Chain A
Amino acid sequence: MTLYAFFGALEQGFAYGLMVIGVYLTFRILDFPDLTVDGSLPLGASVSAVAITSGYSPLISIFMATGAGFLAGVTTGILNTKFKILHLLASILTMIALYSINLRIMGRPNMSLLGQETVVDRFREMTGLLPQHSTPVLFAIVCLVIVAVLIWFMHTEQGLAFLATGDNMQMITSQGVNTDTVIIFGVGLSNALVAASGALVAQNQGAADVNMGVGTIIAGLASVIIGETVFGDKTISRALIAALLGSVLYRIAIALALGMKLGSFSITPSDLNLITALLVVVALVMPKMKRKFLAARGAK
């Protein structure tokens, strides 16, 4: 892997880092498999692109995208809790609705940001870093700040209620917590992060595209699982950081796959999806194998 490819992987890992943290919040903490993300990632990108092309600052556009993502998540949350629609189905409904909404927002399927000033350009001017370094540094800072805020939040009373909701809903209801509110807020928060990630991605790749959300949930889950396997999830702080680093590891794995040549048997680009699937399977199976191995040794 060249240095460019390495920095590129870091950049992608952190750009999608907020998305992965969002997926972690719903999938692991709330125990809510949320497919809204396939729609809320391009939603964030669309809102950001439209805001920038209509003259708002690229930074403000990210906040607008975050707000839109929150509303999308809240919609899924309400469909699930108030209308008693199964979580998976509720999120699919919001996701397909967002496809049309994103087309409406942009007025076309692909909105170019080429030649427009983005947060990346601003940061580069401020710091004077090389282009290939400035982007990963900026995205890493953004992710670390968000992770720090989330760690703080998870130790507040609301945060503890949030953590407990996914663990044992009955117990937390008996404590007087309204779990519906927690779920609605939690899915909203998750999708706010995903949409913010979408805004960063659009500004980084030079365009918002209505199809850019396809496969977001797969990348998100793969990253969460790889992060857990490699870095552990003993405490909430550790788990959040693991999710973020999992995102980076996942992109490094893709970069390795993209540049791989094994003598006469060369890996072609069409093998990429297979490699992704294998990677997730290995990450899922590894902890179980390790436990079995340790148990076998203990028995001796």
Chain B
Amino acid sequence: MKKILVTVAAILLLATTAFAKSYTISVTQIVEHPALDAMRNGVADRLKEKGLDVTYNVHIAQGNMATNTQIISQIMGEQPDLVLAIATPGAQAAAQKIKDRPIVFTGVTDPVSAGLVKDLSNTNGTNITGMSDFSPMDKHVALIKEIVPNVKTIGIIYNSGEPNSVPNLKALKEEAAKVGISVEEATIANSSGVYQAAKSLVGRCDVIYVGTDNTVVSAIESAVKVCTDNKLPLIVGDVDSVARGAIAAVAVDYYKMGLQTGDMIARILVDGSDAGSMPVEFLNDLNLHVNKKAATAMGVTLPAATIERAAKVIE
């Protein structure tokens, strides 16, 4: 009797694995970075939730553009069902070489100027679609006004060499102009310049803003120090920097972005949607994080309403 039960169970098990289709996804990612890794984990978790059996080939270029291109050759050899490209350089190299299978990008700020899609509706696209992490700058400016109500000038620190930062700056200027606020810029070339750049803004602005600029964010503590010393509020574009000492951020949660990218991938793999005609998606569900201690140190009082609607409050 026991033997029969085991046999039946084994057959059932075999049958289910035989029917569940398995997929291979090759991932190209320019560098290891908490936000980029969070997106990759989000994709994997969502696809697992949906019951997809996926094998991943993960390739990380360690920030090297030559390796980034070489990874695409590796992926072509792997013959995956789908290519997941995390951040702009990998997506560009994949789009240039791979034409015969779907490519889904994520964490690309400006997919149109990166040449990945002709427009965001992607109606006459080829084999590529994905998600943009473009900062919702109107919400950032609104947050700045909420915390520093009498703001006249916003100071911004950014690296002019980062593809993400240039469109962010343009958007900030546009949104600030709409509400009659001017923008003062301080550019840096590497993270060791953040301290100097923050100091140069003291006296020239009422609040310092740092967007999703990898170079500045990697040394955000320098800006925190300058802002604390000079009672100048620091508001940022990513939630992780709030825990590191900035006052507040309303921003993309990269893990959630990965989850939504996972949904897009499932539509392509399971429902057979055509990547080339799926519009570029944005994350509408944003998180507000605030840091009470930092606010006090930088000389502002957080409005009660702001604290109330925050997803996370750091005391």
Contact = CB atoms under 8 A, between A and B. Distances in A.
Contact of A207 (B58, B92, B160, B161): B92
Interface in B82-123: 88-89, 92-93, 95-97, 113-116
A211 B68 CA distance: 12
Contact of A270 (B32, B66, B78): B32
A206 B71 contact: no
B105 to A, nearest CB: 12
A210 B95 contact: no
Nearest to B116: A114
A1 B70 CA distance: 12
A142 interface: no
A259 B92 contact: no
A132 interface: yes
B301 interface: no
Contacts of B60: 269-270, 272
A50 B116 CA distance: 18
A156 to B, nearest CB: 33
A2 B113 contact: no
Interface in B18-75: 32, 58-74
Interface in B204-255: none
B269 interface: no
Given A201-B66, A258-B59, A112 B76 contact: no
A251 B97 CA distance: 18
A109 B161 contact: yes
Most buried by B among A3, A11, A112: A112
Contact of A214 (B58, B64, B74, B93): B64
A29 interface: no
A255 B74 contact: yes
A10 B161 CA distance: 30
A209 interface: yes
B163 A209 contact: yes
B70 A258 contact: yes
B92 A2 contact: no
Nearest to B64: A215
B162 interface: yes
A103 B59 contact: no
A2 B162 contact: no
B77 interface: yes
Given A5-B77, A254-B66, A269-B60, 9 more contacts: A4-B74, A5-B73, A12-B66, A114-B96, A205-B96, A214-B65, A215-B66, A255-B74, A269-B61
27 contacts: A2-B74, A3-B77, A4-B76, A8-B73, A8-B76, A99-B189, A108-B166, A109-B162, A109-B166, A112-B113, A112-B115, A114-B95, A114-B116, A205-B65, A205-B68, A207-B89, A207-B114, A207-B115, A209-B65, A211-B65, A212-B65, A215-B64, A255-B74, A258-B67, A258-B70, A269-B60, A269-B61
Interface of A: 1-5, 7-9, 11-12, 16, 96, 99, 103, 108-110, 112-115, 131-132, 201, 204-207, 209-212, 214-215, 219, 251, 254-255, 258-259, 269-270, 272-273
